[in-house]
Amino acid sequence: MTTYCVEPLSTARPELEELLPAHWQEIARDRENPKFHLKPDWNSYHSLEAAGQFFMMVCRVDGRMVGYLIGFVSPQLHYVDSLAFRADIYFVLPEFRKGRIGIELFRQAEQTLRRRGVDKIYLGTKCREDLDRSKLFERLGYERIEFVFAKVLHD
C-alpha cells in the first residue's frame, strides 16, 4: 500500500538519514570537495520546524519511506501578504520511480500546502540530463521562471 503524509522531522529523521546518502550520491556535483560533503544542519531544520516553517511530505510503500519532498513555508519577502513554499530537496528511490509515485508525491504536497494557505510553490531541478525534472514539473502545471548559477569560490 502506498501512502502520502506530512510527517514531523522529529519522528521521520532516522529514516530520512538512511535515504539522504543515496540522494546526495546521485545529485551532488562537488562530492570530491570536502567542504561539500553531506552534513545536514539538523539544528536549523528543527528550529524551522518549531517555527512552523518546515514542511515534509513523505511517501511510504508498505510502511517504508521511499520518497520525500522537503521545503519551507514562509511569507515572501517581496509580497508579505503571500505565503510561499520553497522546495529544499525531493527524492524518490530509483526502484520506485516508475509509475505515478513521484507525480502523486507532488500532487499530495500541493493539496496540503493549498489547505495551509500557500499561494505559490517554487521547485528547482538539476540541469544534468538524467536529473532534469523539468518535464515532470511542466506536466504538473509549473512554469520555468529562472535559471540558477553557482560557482565554488574555495576548493
Q: Tens-of-pLDDT digits for all 155 residues of the chain? A: 999 999 999 999 999 999 999 999 999 988 888 889 999 999 999 999 999 999 999 999 999 999 999 999 999 999 999 999 999 999 999 999 988 999 999 999 999 999 999 999 999 999 888 888 999 999 999 999 998 898 989 87
The alpha carbon of residue 69 and the mean position of all alpha carbons in its chain are separated, in whole angstroms, by 4
State the pLDDT at residue 34: 87
Helix, strand, or coil (residue 5): strand
Q: Is 112 exposed, middle or buried (0-12, 13-18, 19+ CB in 10 A)?
A: middle
Give the residue among 110, 104, 13, 125 at the shortest CA–CA distance from 61.
104
State the pLDDT at residue 44: 97
pTM of full prediction above 0.85: yes
State the pLDDT at residue 131: 86
CA angle 127, 93, 65 (to 5 degrees): 130
Q: Is 19 exposed, middle or buried (0-12, 13-18, 19+ CB in 10 A)?
A: middle
Fold of 2-139: Aminopeptidase (3.40.630)
CA angle 123, 128, 132 (to 5 degrees): 40
C-alpha cell at 122: 517554487
The residues spanned by each domain of the chain are 2-139
